[in-house]
Each structure stands twice: as structure tokens, then as C-alpha cells.
Amino acid sequence: MVDVQVQVGQLVPDFRLPADGGEEIVLSQYRGRKVIIYFYPRDMTPACTKQACDFRDQSEVLMEQGAVVLGVSGDSVKSHDKFKAKHGLSFPLLADEDHQVSRLFGVWQLKKMYGREYEGIVRSTFLIDEAGRLLQEWRGVRVAGHVDKVLEALQEHTSSK
């Protein structure tokens, strides 16, 4: 399979993934709202926990801006259920166990750590508009201050309408 990577300005292809709680999420169900999709490597790891909690802590402000947050990793629904419950997360966590959606966004990549190569998710965030077009992307994200940058971009895109 050839990996297709969504580009800024393009319509994001619809996808369907299982989510925590046994629900299934279809991207198109959020048409009419902005969608923040953030990809993260693993549940329960320090940086991923900090990022999830940062989104949780700003969820009210993000909702006021008309946005919904979706977290995506290759972890199972069962793992997401535990992660969400432990940290009181207020948004869906999607299980991309076959990495198809991660490939669609170009975030499933070869990584290197301590001299070892492996495939994994490169921490990245995407802002999608109400019509389903990719507005902005952040790749290779550093967690500290990231949610603030997403909120600023969301406010810019909301006020420019």
C-alpha cells in the first residue's frame, strides 16, 4: 500500500476507528466543528500523559472555540480505557492498531532511540476545519507549551472567519 499523506488545504479523507468505551468514531461525524487530532506514541508514558492532561485542562476553552479533540495512538481500546479513567480525560482516544490513519497523516515513521531503529508514531497534531479541510499541522511536537500553540491557532482561524 502506498501511504497517502494529507496536506494543508486538502480535504481529510474520512476514517473510522474504535475508541475508548467501545464506541466507534467516524471523522465525518464532526463536520460543522473544528477537529484537533493529536497523535501520540503510547498511553501511560510521561510525555504522552502530560500532553493528554494539557489537552484535558484546556478542553473547555477549546470547546468554546467550537473544536473537538481526538487523541490517536496505536494502543488498544482497553489501554485507552485505563489511560482515560486514570487521568480523567474528557475527549475520545482512538485506537489505530493497524496504523492506517497514522500513515494517512504521515506520522507512522522510522524512529531511532539509543541506536535502535523501530517504527512508531511521531508526536503530531492536526487542525481540521468545519468542512473537513486540514488547516494547520504541527509535526515532531515538543509537549511543553504545545496545547497553547494549538489554542492560539484555533483562535486565529476562528476570528478570521
CA atoms within 13 A on the CB side of 127: 20
For residue 133, what is its C-alpha cell? 479541510
From the CB of residue 133, how many other CB atoms can be counted at a distance below 10 Å?
Answer: 14
* 53 assigned to active site: no
DSSP state of 43: T
Pick the catalytic residue from 12, 17, 48, 141: 48
CA-nearest of 161, 157, 130, 152 to 58 is: 152
DSSP secondary structure of 108-141: EEEEEETTEEEEEEPPEEEEE-TTSBEEEEEES-
Question: Among all residues, which ones are annotated catalytic?
Answer: 48
